[in-house]
Amino acid sequence: MPEIYHICTVKYRGRTGEYFEVLEQAPDNTVMYNSEEGQLSMLWFLEDDNQVEIDARTYIFNKHQIIFLTEFNKVDLRRMGKHRFLKFNKPFYCILNHDSEVGCKGILFFGASEVPVLNPKTNDLEILDTVWKMLALEMESNDNLQLEMLQMMLKRILILATRIYKSEDGYQALDKQQGDIVREFNFLVESHFKTKHSVSEYAELLNKSPKTISNLFGKLSTKTPLQFIQERIMLEVRRLLRYTDMTISEVGYDVGFNDIQSFSRFFKKHQGVSPSEYRVQ
C-alpha cells in the first residue's frame, strides 16, 4: 500500500522490501535529500537557478534539466525551486540485473565521474511529462498489479532518459555494440577504480585492445579513457577528504596509492592544490 505523506509525496513499500518514492515539491517546501543503501534517484528541475552541492562541488541547474544520483553521491540541496523527484531501491528494480531492458548501466548510473545531466528538448519533455502524470496516478492505485505497473513506468522513464543522454553525449557516433563496450568500460571503472588505474587493465577485462578502447572514446569526442579513470579516482578522493576523517595517507591508500608522495603528486596535478590544502578550503 502506498503511504501518502502530503499532497506532493507518495511512497510505495512492497512486501519484500521494495521501495519507490515519487515527489513533486514546491519552492516553499522544506527540501531534504537522503539516500539509503542501494537507492537510486532522479531529480527533475521545474524552475531556474537551483543550487546543489554534489560531492563537494557546487552546481547551478536550470528549468527542465534532469540529473541522476546514487547512494554514493553526497548531496546538499542548497536552493531549490519547484522540482520532481523519484527514488527507488534494488528490490524494486535492479538496473544491473535488467540492463537489457533499459540500457542505463554505465550511463545514468554506475559509470560517471561527473553527474549525468540531461537537457531534454520540447518533444522529450512532452513524453516525460505524460509518463510522469501516469506514474503519479498509478501511485494511487491499490491492487495486485500496482508493483508491475510502477516498474513499467519507471522503465519507460529510464529508457527515455538514456536516449536523451546518448543523443547529447555523442553516442550516436557508435553502433550498439560499440556503445555497449563504452558503457561496460564505464561500469568496470566504477567497480575497480581503486585497484586498476590503467586503460590496459580494463581493456583486458573487456577482451579488447587499449587502442580499441581509445578509438571508441575518440568517437565520442569527450575525454580519453585514461582521463575517465583518473577523474573517477579524483571524485572518490574529494569525497573522502571532504566528508571523512581519514588521514591523507589513508585516503591515498584507499584509492590504490602505496605512498603519500605519489598520491600527493597525482592529486595536485588534477586539483591544482595539495590534499591538505584542499581539505581546509
Contacts of 207-214 with CB under 8 Å at 24 or more apart are: 208/181, 212/181, 213/181, 213/185
What's the distance, CA 243 to chain centroid?
19
Q: How many CB atoms lie within 10 A of CB 129?
A: 14
Q: What is this structure's pTM?
A: 0.89
- Pick from 97, 202, 54, 172: nearest CA to 105: 97
CATH topology of domain 2-169: Jelly Rolls (2.60.120)
Element (H, E) at 184: helix 176-192
Could you read off the pLDDT of 12-48 as tens digits, one per residue? Answer: 888 899 999 998 887 655 556 666 778 999 999 999 9
Question: What is the CB-side half-sphere exposure of residue 23 using CA atoms within 13 A?
Answer: 24
CATH number for the region 176-280 comes to 1.10.10.60
- pLDDT at residue number 7: 43
Q: Which of 77-86, 94-103, 215-224 has the lowest mean pLDDT?
A: 215-224
d(CA 14, CA 125): 30
- The per-residue pLDDT for range 154-195, each reduced to its tens digit, is 999 999 999 999 888 778 888 889 989 999 999 999 999 999
DSSP assigned state of 96 = T
- Can you give the residue ranges of every domain in the chain? 2-169, 176-280
pLDDT tens digits, 202-224: 999 999 999 999 999 998 877 89
What is the tens place of the pLDDT at every residue in 225-268?
999 999 999 999 999 999 999 999 999 999 999 999 999 999 99
pLDDT for 5 beyond 60:
no
- Asked if residue 51 has pLDDT above 90, the reply is yes
Amino acid 208: pLDDT: 95
Q: Is the pLDDT of residue 92 over 90?
A: yes
Grid cell 498489479 in the structure block, residue = 145
